[in-house]
Amino acid sequence: MDLKQQVVARALEEGFVMARVCRPDAVPQAAARLEEFVQAGYHGQMGWMAERMHWRGNPAALWPEARSVIMLAESYAPDYDPLPLLHESERGVISAYALGRDYHDIVKKRLKRLGRWLIETAGGEIKVFVDTAPVPEKALGQAAGLGWQGKHTSLLSRDWGNWAFLGSVFTTLEFEPDAPEVGHCGSCTACLDICPTDAFPAPYQLDARRCISYLTIEHAGPVDEDLRALMGNRIYGCDDCLAVCPWNKFAVAASDLRYHGGVGAPPLAELAALDDAAFRARFSGSPIKRIGRDRFVRNVLYAIGNSGVAALLPVAQGLCEDADATVADAARWAVARLKGTA
């Protein structure tokens, strides 16, 4: 086995479902695509995307000494179908990736172990990234042959579907790059058709300002009222476009059970009652913790307003004078919705 084959074998031993290699300069189209995205305003409040365009559009500039990028996919495929949960109106639906431990911690430790092994075996230097730096992971993933960016803009594969985290190991070592992957979506539009907020202006384009994942996680302050009613009971992220992809028939089981966790689909009334301390305790070690109690309870109140469940009216009424203005606004909106006046 040559060194590259050893790297791939080691990556699979670590729990990754696939490992492929590309050059840092393998995505010359990334800069123009990112600029179009930002110029259209599709990034919403994610100002860091505009501020770091130089690096995100040109990964070779992130670390000029790097000669190869090892791109890796790690499955978090849920062991259930997320879509039926959308009909359980008294419960909050949380994206499958956030049900357990924070993937940043788990994947980064795997990447570091792989990187240390590589240094011990062949020398060189490394830097590892997992959604923690301005790295265009999806573009690099396609350039390396991991998969292709689907019409929903996420990376998907004929080998593992689209339930995967992406990580990268930049190295000063030279590896023969793999062939890039080409698209296999064909005429399918399942992901575009299912989107509840019409967040895809066109295939392969996402307007984050309408995406429920963005609205529930990244968007600060009140959500536009015309979008609140479309969010249903999704309180952290949205899996609709991922869940409906037919390539998931090839999904690979998650290698780490910590991704599945015990969050589940909790009762909305229970979640609305969380104060800051209780929120932090409940979601300790979870990616949910980073959005804070106020944004999370805002999302819960939108779900309560969409529930049509009269029994949740007192829950919303109890938060109409919340110390956080956005939470109070969401509570009043929920009350009006449940009373049929919004």
The per-residue pLDDT for range 61-79, each reduced to its tens digit, is 889 999 999 999 999 999 8
pLDDT (0 to 100) of residue 263: 67
Residue type, 97: Y
- pTM, two decimals, is 0.94
The per-residue pLDDT for range 291-305, each reduced to its tens digit, is 999 999 999 999 999
Among residues 105, 131, 207, 322, the one annotated as catalytic is: 131
Helix/strand/coil (H/E/C) assignment for every residue in the chain:
CCHHHHHHHHHHHHCCCEEEEECCCCCCCHHHHHHHHHHCCCCCCCHHHHHCHHHHCCHHHHCCCCCEEEEEEEECECCCCCHHHHHCCCECEECHHHCCCCHHHHHHHHHHHHHHHHHHHHCCCEEEECCCCCCCHHHHHHHHCCCEECCCCCEEECCCECCEEEEEEEECCCCCCCCCCCCCCCCCCHHHHHCCCCCCCECCECCHHHCHHHHHHCCCCCCCHHHHCCCCCEEECCCHHHHCCHHHHHCCECCCHHHCCCCCCCEHHHHHCCCHHHHHHHCCCCHHHHHHHHHHHHHHHHHHHHHCCHHHHHHHHCCCCCCCHHHHHHHHHHHHHHCCCC
pLDDT (0 to 100) of residue 259: 79
pLDDT (0 to 100) of residue 342: 63
pLDDT (0 to 100) of residue 248: 95
* Tokens encoding 267: 């009762």
Determine the Cα–Cα distance for residues 235 and 332; give it in Å rounded to an integer.
17
pLDDT (0 to 100) of residue 1: 82
Whole-number average pLDDT of the chain: 93
Confidence grade of residue 54 (pLDDT, cut at 50, 70, 90): low
CB atoms within 10 A of CB 63: 19
What percent of the chain stands above pLDDT 90? 80
Question: Order of strands across the sheet with 126-129?
Answer: 18-22, 68-75, 164-171, 126-129
240 included as an active-site residue: no
Determine the Cα–Cα distance for residues 21 and 146; give it in Å rounded to an integer.
9
Q: Which residue has the higher pLDDT, 283 or 51?
A: 283
The per-residue pLDDT for range 237-286, each reduced to its tens digit, is 999 999 999 999 999 998 877 877 766 799 999 999 999 999 999 999 99
State the average pLDDT over residues 13-35.
90
pLDDT (0 to 100) of residue 33: 84
pLDDT (0 to 100) of residue 296: 98
Determine the Cα–Cα distance for residues 10 and 113; give it in Å rounded to an integer.
10
pLDDT (0 to 100) of residue 55: 61
pLDDT (0 to 100) of residue 4: 97
The per-residue pLDDT for range 177-234, each reduced to its tens digit, is 999 999 999 999 999 999 999 999 999 999 999 999 999 999 999 999 999 999 999 9
pLDDT (0 to 100) of residue 244: 98
- Kindly report which listed range (20-34, 116-130, 321-335) carries the lowest average pLDDT score: 20-34
Determine the Cα–Cα distance for residues 207 and 41; give it in Å rounded to an integer.
8
> Is pLDDT above 90 for 40?
no
Closest to 206 measured CA to CA, from 26, 41, 93: 41
pLDDT (0 to 100) of residue 42: 75
List 68's β-bridge partners, or say none: 171
The per-residue pLDDT for range 301-327, each reduced to its tens digit, is 999 999 999 999 999 999 999 999 999
pLDDT (0 to 100) of residue 64: 94
Confidence grade of residue 48 (pLDDT, cut at 50, 70, 90): low
pLDDT (0 to 100) of residue 37: 78
Determine the Cα–Cα distance for residues 294 and 220; give it in Å rounded to an integer.
10
